[in-house]
Amino acid sequence: MFKSVLVANRGEIACRVFRTAKRMGLRTIAVYSEADAQALHVREADEAVRIGPAAARESYLDGAKVLAAAKATGAEAIHPGYGFLSENADFAEAVAAAGLIWIGPDPASIRAMGLKDAAKELMIQAGVPVTPGYQGADQSEATLTAEAARIGYPVLIKAVAGGGGKGMKRVDDPADFVAGLASAKREGAAAFGDDRVLIERYITRPRHIEVQVFGDRHGDVVHLFERDCSLQRRHQKVIEEAPAPGMSEAVRAAVTGAAIKAAKAVNYVGAGTIEFIADASDGLKADGIWFMEMNTRLQVEHPVTESVTGVDLVEWQLRVAAGEPLPLKQDEIKLNGWAMEARLYAEDPANGFLPSIGRLEHFVMPEGIRVDTGVEQGGEVSQFYDPMIAKLIVHADTREAAAARLAEAAGEVEVWPVKTNAGFLKRCLDHPRFVTGDVDTGFIAAEEAALQPDESAEATLAALTLIAEAATDVEAAGSDRFSPWGGQPGLSYGVRLNAPAQTMVWAHVDGRGVSGAVTPVEAGWRGAEGRTAQIGFDQVQAGEALFGYQVIDDGFVLFVDGEARRVTPHRAAVGSGAGAVSDGALRAPMPGKIVAAPVKAGDLVAKGQPVVVLEAMKMEHALTAPFDGVVEHVAAVGDQVVEAAVLAVVKAAD
């Protein structure tokens, strides 16, 4: 076994690899960009090397700089994590040429599976079923348009070098094909330096089933069962689980057998995932599952497989890279219970899931479960990298118990002022369809209305009522320091003769006014140890609900079921800020680059029509017309813009 390992990555996956490497007694080495100088993975490593500016292309994607860091620190092996250089065959070759150990598959295997079109052809030759489609060399618009018509709508356009939902567009109407093709090509070129695409038939009730495979240099290849990653948004996984709901032993044998066949076709070594698309219109069937792609690396969702098998996949990676045989034979790998993982993103579900950036002034994760993260309180969520900030992982005896515990954990997340999808995750996990396992990749789109937060005045006042009851009870005990209002106007206490005391609440919650009278009930509070010395955070329990709150200058933030609600006295209400469109101005929700402007000044637009497209955090975000009107101004393609910059102005139609 080698003695040191450099992780050519950042954030959560770097911290994850370091955890196992340290347990095995290895020296750990981090690399970091200027934006990550204070990042958690840098401090957790035994040694760290700065490799360049914030932009990934000048740091984490610069293989020469990573190799220079390895040489300078005496690293013996390089673990690529996922993303960045993890599936770059040229970099894998350069690592070996430098005399270092590459913790991953052979470059030939990466190349064979790295391009979706070539991989599909290879799988056809190996006898693995593939989704009907077109993966030809002719990339002309005319040919691709004709092939889409031949396949039949809806179709899925996919960047051949893509992954993580980037460069992937569903098209339902032939009239929208050319625009979808252009967008997929732009994303493919921006994310992977390759704008070629393939086209597949879009399965109307698709489920995403994938199989974890592992090979060694002694000729053995095993599977570690399947995962279901069907709950997705914009082709990006949101919640993953193992095993797959409704999976019979016969179908499991078919899909895992196909995965082993696919891995052996490329002489696979190390950790990999064979991804399949399944038609869920009539349950899982062996003849209704097709090869989609192979990821020649460790997956983001690998913890659910670790949870149900008891295997440390990173340890297996390190041992196999050192030349050791697989620690277990196929018949020794057992499936135990049910595991689920939820991806916690720094994004705003109420604003089209746009990424949210900034300093994590308050960052509290649930206790009693596995949390994999690369950030901490006081850290920064940068505009330069993927917005995933943590993974919440649970394991239980049954699927129902796992879903309930993960929903509870998502509701315990407290993050401020960066926005997250925690509340959205909880609503997904609580949804009756999810609880029964009735999930396909269209679940989120189909249930969009039910997955929105309850932002009615009644719901907000109900939450305020409970916090006021607790605060009233605490104040009655002579401990007004624990009131979240801190003595500010907006919460008053009154005494009525021959009647219970009454609390009057009037406030703004996220800019909306609410008010009401509250009669206190018996309530208690609990807080962190040493709470009397804290200004910031306590947890207050009233009735059956448990809330956390964070005091801020003009009020407090109330955390309820994963949502962060800013509560301010009536006098301190704030405006809508960046992104407001009431005046017809479309403002940048974050820093980024204008990559498309489908309209120009003077054009008539309808409500919901795309006006300008912003590229930020490796994804495109279309800003649409807030109402019918005329475009008065639109930013130029190529412009770099700051948050809240006006990108376009639409004047309402008379």
Phi/psi of residue 234, nearest 5 degrees? 55, 40
Question: In Å, what is the CA distance from 313 to each residue of 95, 104, 245, 319, 390?
Answer: 22, 12, 23, 10, 19
Q: Which two tokens stand for residue 577?
A: 């800020």
Interhelix angle 116-126/107-114, rounded to 10 degrees, is 100
Distance CA 241, CA 300 (A): 12
Residue whose tokens read 């008053």: 492
Question: In Å, what is the CA distance from 604 to each residue of 609, 622, 629, 648, 649?
Answer: 10, 17, 6, 13, 12
Residue among 137, 183, 132, 128 nearest 154 (CA): 132
Structural contact between residues 380 and 365, judged by C-beta atoms closer than 8 angstroms = no
All residues at 6 or more sequence positions from 228 whose CB lies less than 8 Å from its CB, including other chains: 207, 208, 209, 240, 241, 242, 243, 244, 245, 247, 439
Q: Which helix (H) or strand (E) holds 508?
A: strand 502-509
Annotation marks residue 201 as catalytic: no
Distance CA 226, CA 229 (A): 10
Residue whose tokens read 């960009």: 33
Helical segments of 310-420, H only: 313-321, 399-411
> Exactly one of 196, 297, 343, 566 is catalytic; which is it?
297
Strand partners, 558: 549, 565
Positions marked catalytic:
297
